[in-house]
Structure 1
């Protein structure tokens, strides 16, 4: 099968969701040339369960894997798992592995993600201080925690909050530390962020607001000292304060980087035969404006799929409003679009409030708890730019799907 662009042999560095999705999409589109997935990890696996389900009975690498080695082979996807990449040569499109093997290609996709950000405070390098990014990280935390284990989780964003919930459910004595009084406020708005954050205290998790100043040790016990004066004893400290993009290989190969590997709207880097996707990619649009990197699950999946289209030179699918989810304390949060910046916040009351952002008569963002139907309908309304009325959004009895039905009827009768 021929395509507008001859991608030839494709080498994908990084077998996380973006890299795996790209490999799958290349095959589903009919690309027949060799595709090779390279990763230092032992398998291509899903990461969200690392913070949500690490204490589940069926928690295993096999259970998290996107696909088995046999199925990958059947799909014609070659793998080099368990091998870190030492260097890439963008000009010759070659990848050198730590064992000395050189993997040759015609097109290279960098989906190398990032690593957990470390604290830069005294004691951050103590043996009992851990981060959560890989399966091995999760397995180490799981092995260390028993009922009553004192755990300090530093960082109350998505991963920290989910991990605190999982630890508490497993019986650990958890303290959650964050400098922000209301984490996630820029992402889902102050009302819902406050509602979510309050769940920690209600479940028995100690919440401390402040900056970690240092971590001290006395034998096996540690103490986390916070700038508000709190002194928190712990047998385990887990740091969840964000992600550092893995740009070093790209920078050494001469690719443009700036807080990520810079790509255009077609996921192309500054070298035409090299593309980038997932957490490590940062869009520089046609106006030269640098966008924030996206670090959510669906964003990684879509960027991998779209990068596959771009590598073959075919039109990219239309991308709708962004979407992410989080699970903690038995509830399921979903959000789509933007919930910051210009516009009017609208609240739909309930056991858990839903929030909307309306800007110039158009819905631009939504977040809700345990209400997939509302978020799904709102996302379609955002994508279709259907005008909304704030009072309808605020009415719990008003079904957003009725707006979609009305819009379809209007289109049919036009």
Structure 2
């Protein structure tokens, strides 16, 4: 499989995703700092949670609508709403106007629009790719997303405080470019049946009832539900790094030596240690994601994915316990290798269990699992104030092991769905 063999939609979405991720990550991850500076840390925490909640609710709505009106139209509408939100943020953080509360309102618009956009854009990628090509597509997206994140983290850290207005201008321009390309070049990938797309004949309450029935049908898919629970438990293992682990390191490491030679002495505190671990993870993924594609082709896919799960859980569990800088760096190396092994395969498996008629609804529930994993990681901060680091590391490890066990439990069914989808695809190509 080569990049040039992808459908035009995939090629465009890959590079639009890279551009948007890079520009947005220069701004959005730092908004907690923005609100804490202007409104106080306690209020900032409530605001950030509200963004997660509104994004989650709108993701559920977006998944339902995408399966009934198509992907492209919904993506365009969501991106226009994002542009309105970014323009509002830019206007009220300009040299002439300042308002943290209006910025909060605009961020709610952005979060809602992003929630609606995500299931449709993810479903479009699956719509136009064959099952055997999706793993390569996810590898490329994963690699570029991390490269964008690494570049954005460096630039954003230096520019956010003094050039926030200019960054927002760049965010508006990038969103406008994305809208233009989507309108002019992106093709619709899914055409719902007339009874699905006919929304005008039904009232609001009826549509809410239909949406409830749609998601009830999704949740009756036992294989999918177990897959989501597994993903949630395994995903929460990493989210602890910026929650419980970050708090613990900031409290327990006041000054630790990384490197010492003569008069040179490189020391870090807990917060810088956490930043170093995050940077290590991002850089390693950026450097070795493509190499993982060759490894997955050469070796048994199932064996690789379970080795990856194991390394990932053990690495992050040790990070939850240790205070030794070099051992933390080694543990992050192990965890990142594990992540590189299993992420593309797991994403491909997910695409095999999403039926055409409800793909966006499945994507929305999958997105919800990540939000729940973030809530779990946040709740562990409070638990960590009571329990020892050994007990916390044990809980994190056990949750990861349970997630691995659940994945193993449904793997035969996932293989059956993959084989059936590939066979159906091959018959379609032959016809």
TM range (shorter): under 0.3
Give TM-score, length-normalised by structure 1: 0.26
Structure ranking higher in strand proportion: 1
Give TM-score, length-normalised by structure 2: 0.26
Structure ranking higher in helix proportion: 2
Which structure exhibits the higher relative contact order, with contacts defined as CA atoms closer than 8 Å and separated by 6 or more residues?
2
